[in-house]
């Protein structure tokens, strides 16, 4: 028997259907020589400090840094996880082969490898590696199963990332909390989180320190065209008025007229970050919301694998493009011109050297049905971008006119679209216009040497402060380690040095919101005073450096490619943590004050209370779903539900068994899996005293 392990029950069901394992069992499907089981997200995690030694349970400066001799893993303390793991463990113990059908990426590889490690798997392992969940992709993937050893470097990179985050996060958080937080509040430090916050704080300080200055410019209108003087902006009105009087004495003379035809290249296909950027600009979606919507589309088989960082397709996909286009019947008015001739093998689209684990995000060709409004919008962005990649370039005419009045030189420019090309797909979409790009402006034909009367004037303006980050610009800053990069080619080259991975950046931003280090006003992101204080307290520049963190990300990618060693990366981080600890313990810094304090410990008479790790008080809506462990909870009219409800299905009602549940009851259910004893619960029309708890399927029962 061959055992297939998928990452989610829904994916397991799809796989089982394709390979003929149609008999439903408890925790798996069986048939045709296969058993198909599943995890649901992370089943295992790195051991916590107290798992290594009881001494590390308390938060004490003298115990830092904590460096385990060997890192271990453990099962997550969750009844549903432990029950399903036993199913997997049992199936693996008697199978002839395991097929790893986990999410085809670094995180998916790590999840599955840890499960196999914990289950002490000795059977040979194959790897299913697919970019979509369509029946065709699954069938083709099973015909081309790969040896698990091919992905050892991917697993090593995932392990290095997890260990690096543990070493820095566990040690630095305790270090700064105990040194500067007075033990009353957790000061959360992270390998990616902290430099991201530092970028936002730096921008905030630039905005706060900015002093707006007035300026004056000389402008004039000649033949219904506005020209601007090319001299530096004037700092006072007196100079401007003198300039205006000077301009009135002379006619306007055209010195140069240049009209050039050019092309505007097609937009690149989407990777996850660029999709999140556009969805934020156009619809105001957070990075986390966009990830949720596209994950739903992927699991419904309408788009390809979303957690990607490339904008290219592999060359073997070229023959399939026409077939995908033909299935996009909702967009037939746009696909018809493309399908009228052979699909070109464009170098800007197809390049095996630019494709790593997966190719860019494109539609699968499966006709979408039953989509929410948000999912429709994301699907439309992806599909239009896919079609636009194969359209002709946009042809434009760029006009530049130079002139002078006396000795003062002037300039005007305009752009005219001659052939819209790919812009036809965005005819009514103003969000496609690049920031700072002028509207199309048709200019009259001028001749060098012509001269005539004009209408000079003074334009008064004010200098503007730096713009606050939006999620769109923050994602771009994370992708380029804080460097301002507008060129697509250059951005592509810098991705290896970006901070965080496309799949984790949304979670990093959400964590900063939850920690109350940043806040959102309309679309703009601002650092809170708490966030500013935390960054000011961190004197160690390495912790705050986006470039250094980008360099770590580059090394993680090199590990993935087999060009760097996990142990070397680990030793570098250990050395940094050791030096950081020594530096901070002997340093003096400002004490952080924060509104949100940890709950006070209950006093015990005649006994010294054991020191405990300070905790942050989270509201229920800030807690993670106890079922999938991945997504935050969301408050509805009658229940809390997983924010990824369509996939996860978790729901916790406000009332159960005839009782209105208090916040304490709900919190206990989410964190402990059961409430304390409640009197008068209605069960089968009888009143009983008992505890409300989750069963293995996360349904409420009375114990």
Half-sphere exposure of 293 (CA within 13 A, CB side): 24
For 300-364, where are the alpha helices, taking DSSP H only? Answer: 321-327, 332-339
User: Distance from CA of residue 380 to its chain's centroid?
Assistant: 20
Here the tokens at position 206 are 């630039």
Report the alpha-carbon distance of residue 379 to residue 30 in Å, rounded.
Answer: 34
Residue 639 structure tokens: 């229940």
Q: Distances in Å between the alpha carbon of 474 and those of 437, 498, 612, 634?
A: 21, 12, 36, 25
- DSSP state, 44? E
Q: If we measure between CA atoms, which residue out of 163, 168, 66, 160 comes closest to residue 543?
A: 168
Backbone angles phi, psi at 49, to 5 degrees: -50, -45
C-alpha closest to that of 289 among 217, 375, 350, 403: 375
Report the C-alpha gap between 326 and 341 in whole angstroms. 13
C-alpha to C-alpha distance for 21 and 36, rounded to whole angstroms: 7
- Residues in contact with 74: Cβ distance below 8 Å, sequence separation at least 6, in sequence order: 44, 45, 46, 47, 51, 118
The SS3 call for residue 390 is coil
C-alpha dist (Å) from residue 324 to 348, 367, 387: 19, 10, 10
- CA–CA distances in Å: residue 235 to residues 216, 408, 456: 7, 17, 18
Which residues participate in catalysis according to the annotation?
305
Q: Is 242 exposed, middle or buried (0-12, 13-18, 19+ CB in 10 A)?
A: exposed
Q: Name the residue among 32, 66, 165, 58 with its Cα closest to residue 110.
A: 165
CA 31/CA 480 separation, integer angstroms: 48
Instruction: Give SS3 for 682.
Output: strand
User: Are the C-beta atoms of 420 and 427 separated by less than 8 Å?
Assistant: yes
Closest to 75 in 3D by CA, of 52, 113, 43 = 43
How far apart are alpha carbons 557 and 567 in whole angstroms? 14
- 4 forms beta bridges with 36, 99
Ramachandran area for residue 326 (φ above 0: left; ψ -120 to 50: alpha; else beta): alpha
Number of neighbouring beta carbons within 10 Å of residue 194: 29
Asked whether the beta carbons of 670 and 651 are under 8 A apart, the reply is no
CA atoms within 13 A of residue 549's CA, in its CB half-sphere: 28
């Amino acid at each position: 028997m061959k055992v297939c392990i998928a990452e989610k029950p829904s994916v397991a069901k799809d796989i089982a259907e394709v390979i003929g394992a149609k008999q439903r069992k408890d925790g798996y499907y069986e048939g045709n020589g296969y058993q198909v089981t599943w995890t649901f997200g992370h089943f295992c995690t790195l051991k916590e400090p107290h798992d290594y030694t009881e001494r590390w349970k308390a938060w004490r400066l003298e115990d830092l840094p904590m460096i385990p001799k060997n890192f271990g893993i453990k099962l997550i303390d969750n009844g549903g996880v432990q029950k399903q793991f036993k199913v997997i463990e049992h199936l693996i113990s008697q199978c002839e082969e395991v097929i790893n059908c986990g999410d085809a990426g670094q995180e998916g590889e790590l999840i599955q490898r840890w499960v196999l490690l914990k289950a002490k798997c000795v059977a040979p392992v194959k790897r299913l590696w697919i970019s979509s969940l369509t029946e065709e992709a699954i069938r083709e993937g099973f015909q081309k199963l790969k040896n698990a050893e091919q992905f050892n470097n991917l697993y090593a990179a995932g392990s290095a990332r997890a260990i690096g985050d543990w070493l820095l996060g566990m040690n630095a958080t305790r270090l700064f909390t105990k040194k500067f937080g007075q033990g009353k509040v957790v000061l959360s430090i992270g390998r990616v989180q902290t430099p991201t916050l530092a970028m936002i704080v730096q921008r905030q300080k630039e905005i706060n320190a900015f002093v707006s200055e007035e300026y004056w410019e000389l402008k004039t209108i000649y033949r219904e065209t506005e020209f601007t003087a090319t001299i530096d902006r004037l700092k006072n009105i007196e100079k401007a008025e003198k300039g205006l009087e000077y301009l009135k004495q002379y006619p306007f003379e055209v010195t140069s007229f240049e009209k050039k035809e050019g092309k505007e290249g097609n937009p690149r296909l989407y990777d996850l970050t660029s999709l999140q950027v556009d969805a934020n600009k156009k619809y105001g979606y957070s990075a986390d919301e966009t990830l949720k919507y596209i994950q739903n589309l992927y699991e419904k088989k309408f788009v390809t694998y979303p957690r990607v960082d490339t904008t290219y397709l592999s060359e073997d996909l070229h023959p399939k493009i026409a077939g995908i286009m033909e299935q996009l019947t909702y967009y037939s008015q746009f696909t018809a011109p493309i399908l009228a001739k052979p699909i070109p093998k464009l170098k800007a689209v197809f390049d095996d050297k630019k494709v790593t684990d997966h190719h860019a995000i494109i539609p699968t060709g499966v006709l979408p049905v039953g989509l929410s409004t948000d999912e429709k919008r994301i699907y439309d962005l992806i599909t239009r971008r896919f079609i636009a990649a194969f359209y002709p370039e946009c042809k434009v005419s760029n006009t530049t006119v130079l002139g002078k009045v006396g000795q003062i030189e002037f300039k005007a420019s305009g752009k005219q679209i001659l052939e819209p090309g790919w812009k036809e797909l965005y005819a009514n979409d103003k969000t496609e216009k690049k920031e700072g790009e002028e509207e199309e402006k048709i200019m009259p034909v001028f001749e060098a040497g012509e001269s005539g009367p004009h209408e000079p004037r003074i334009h008064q303006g004010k200098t503007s402060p730096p713009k606050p980050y939006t999620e769109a610009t923050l994602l771009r800053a994370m992708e380029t380690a804080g460097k301002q990069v507008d060129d697509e080619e250059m951005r592509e080259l810098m991705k290896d040095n970006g901070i965080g991975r496309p799949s984790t950046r949304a979670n990093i931003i959400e964590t900063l919101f939850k920690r109350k280090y940043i806040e959102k006003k309309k679309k703009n992101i601002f650092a809170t005073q708490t966030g500013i204080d935390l960054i000011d307290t961190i004197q160690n520049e390495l912790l705050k450096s986006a470039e250094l963190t980008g360099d770590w990300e580059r090394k993680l990618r090199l590990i993935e490619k087999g060009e760097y060693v996990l142990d070397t990366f680990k030793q570098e981080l250990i050395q940094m943590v050791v030096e950081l600890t020594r530096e901070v313990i002997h340093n003096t810094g400002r004490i952080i004050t924060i509104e949100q304090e940890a709950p006070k410990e209950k006093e015990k008479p005649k006994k010294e209370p054991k020191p405990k790790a300070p905790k942050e008080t989270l509201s229920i809506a800030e807690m993670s779903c106890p079922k999938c462990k991945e997504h935050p909870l969301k408050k509805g009219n009658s229940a809390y539900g997983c924010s990824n409800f369509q996939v996860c299905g978790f729901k916790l009602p406000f009332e159960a068994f005839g009782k209105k549940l208090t916040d304490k009851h709900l919190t206990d259910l989410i964190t402990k899996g059961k409430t304390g004893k409640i009197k008068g619960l209605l069960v089968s029309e009888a009143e009983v005293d008992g505890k409300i708890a989750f069963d293995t399927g996360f349904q409420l029962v009375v114990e």
